[in-house]
Structure 1
Amino acid sequence: MIAHSAPATPDLNATRRAVLTRRVRWVVAVTITWNVVEAVVALTAGHVASSTALVAFGLDSVVEVLSAAAVAWQFSVPDPQARERVAMRLIAVSFVGLALLVSVDAVRTLLGAVEPEHVRVGIVLAALSLAVMPFLSWFERRTGRELGSASAVADSKQTLLCTYLSAVLLVGLLLNATLGWTWAGPVAALVIAAVALGEARGAWRGDACCAPTALTTTRTDDGGGAGSACTDPCCSSDAGATRQATPVQLSARRP
């Protein structure tokens, strides 16, 4: 039994590959634009209202910009696969940054160092983010999987975590405004921070959630057999919904 390296991406014709590459560039550009606007609004409003929650949310948006920018950098060359590993490492660092920012803000709130404020602009901003970010995450993840881009899949998960943070901000502001529950948002945020650290570890190792790239797949050729390529737990779950998925199969025959 002889182990062979898997092809960098699934079998795609040049036309389809070009279409998928343009889609990745498009969704990354939209993600960067949205998060830049989101960061400016959140940081400005947070400074004016002295809202640490909004400032932290704005900083989280900056981290998401850095993650998407890594993918944009990768796909700015004719051969994006050559930059795949570096892009994955940059995304891993962005996950760690996200976890640290969220954890520090949550712990400070739980210890009483800061008091969550009821800010109307924060509620509106979080609601808009919840309407936009899930679609961008789904579109990039779907495109990245078909193209075989580990970095696009990883960045889509970064976007999804930012969606969860938007929900935490929205629920936290509403609970604080109505019931005075200052602890609800920070506790949920710490859970998200733990998830972000797990994603950072996977991105650093090159895990791609069933994206069959050179970083994550191997095949075994014993004269016609096929080897399973996907071992990541997210092969059986997608965006929190458990489902069964068929592992990527790559096969080869000797001439």
Structure 2
Amino acid sequence: MKTSPIADKNPVSLYQTAFGLAVFTIVYNLLEGLVSTYFGVQDESLALFGFGADSFIEVISGLGIAHMVLRIRRNPQSPRDPFERTALKVTGFAFYALVITLVTTSLYNIWTGHRPLTTVVGIVISVISIAVMWALVAWKRRVGRRLDSEPILADANCTLVCIYMSVILLASSGIFELTGFAYADSIGSLGLAYFAFREGRECFEKANSEKYCGCD
């Protein structure tokens, strides 16, 4: 029976793969954040701008994940260290700040009837993000199962939230582009705020315990 390339790797190679996936996630989120916030401002789309801001916050989270992989490679049973806890708290505060910004601006846009100029870029970015994040979830899960690593499997489950947020961006952008429904962008922004709040709350829960993720 033919085995997968990952199944044939030893633990050292698997940890290298896990670290490489963490670094890729950081770089991808950084690029996604730059493109999304730029076009979010240009197209006056709050949902796209908020999605980009979330990507920047995920960069901070990703630094903690990369550090975590290096830590558990040295000692799989080691507890979460101060660097990871600090990264989680900073990430949590950033998510809460994003929630306040998105909710406040969304309600204002609904009140004034603000409409984005276009949401085409939001559709394109969300489709790309769904594809990339889905592949990352699958790959991280395969590595996590091979290593029997709860932290890596938890990270894979938490990456699912990025897919959910991408789906919200796709739905709100698509609805506006197809129907011209004025409040689609603002409602999508409130949906992003909901998941950002959940992520922020979970960051503080993890920072104050040995819990890895409740996303599953």
What is the DSSP-based 3-state SS (H/G/I as helix, E as strand, rest coil) of the residue aligned with 1:50?
coil
Matched with 2:54 is 60
CA distance in 1, matches of 2:100, 2:40: 18
- One-letter amino acid of the counterpart of residue 206, structure 1: E
Taking structure 1 as reference, are residues 26 and 194 closer, same or farther at Cα in structure 2, changes over 3 Å only? same
Structure having the larger proportion of residues in helix = 2
Structure showing greater radius of gyration is 1
CA distance in 1, matches of 2:115, 2:99: 14
Q: How does 1:143-158 map to 2 (within 5 A)?
A: 143-144=143-144, 146-147=146-147, 149=149, 151-158=151-158
Matched with 2:133 is 133
CA distance in 2, matches of 1:21, 1:92: 25
Taking structure 1 as reference, are residues 155 and 106 closer, same or farther at Cα in structure 2, changes over 3 Å only? farther
Matched with 1:98 is 95
The alpha carbon displacement at 1:151 in A equals 4.7
What is the DSSP-based 3-state SS (H/G/I as helix, E as strand, rest coil) of the residue aligned with 1:84?
coil
Aligned counterpart for 1:86 among listed residues 82, 87, 112? 82
- One-letter amino acid of the counterpart of residue 181, structure 1: Y
CA distance in 2, matches of 1:145, 1:97: 31
Structure having the larger proportion of residues in strand = 1
Aligned counterpart for 1:33 among listed residues 24, 27, 35? 27
Does the 8 Å contact 1:21/1:75 carry over to 2? Answer: yes
Moved more, 78-87 or 51-60: 78-87
CA distance in 2, matches of 1:189, 1:74: 27
Does the 8 Å contact 2:50/2:189 carry over to 1? Answer: no
Aligned pairs, number: 198
**RMSD between aligned alpha carbons?**
3.0
- % identity of equivalent residues: 27
Aligned counterpart for 1:107 among listed residues 104, 108, 112? 104
Does the 8 Å contact 1:85/1:206 carry over to 2? Answer: no
CA distance in 1, matches of 2:150, 2:35: 31
Matched with 2:64 is 70
What is the DSSP-based 3-state SS (H/G/I as helix, E as strand, rest coil) of the residue aligned with 1:184?
helix
CA distance in 2, matches of 1:151, 1:94: 18
Matched with 1:42 is 36
Aligned counterpart for 2:212 among listed residues 208, 212, 229? 208
CA distance in 1, matches of 2:93, 2:147: 26
Does the 8 Å contact 1:91/1:155 carry over to 2? Answer: no
CA distance in 1, matches of 2:176, 2:161: 22
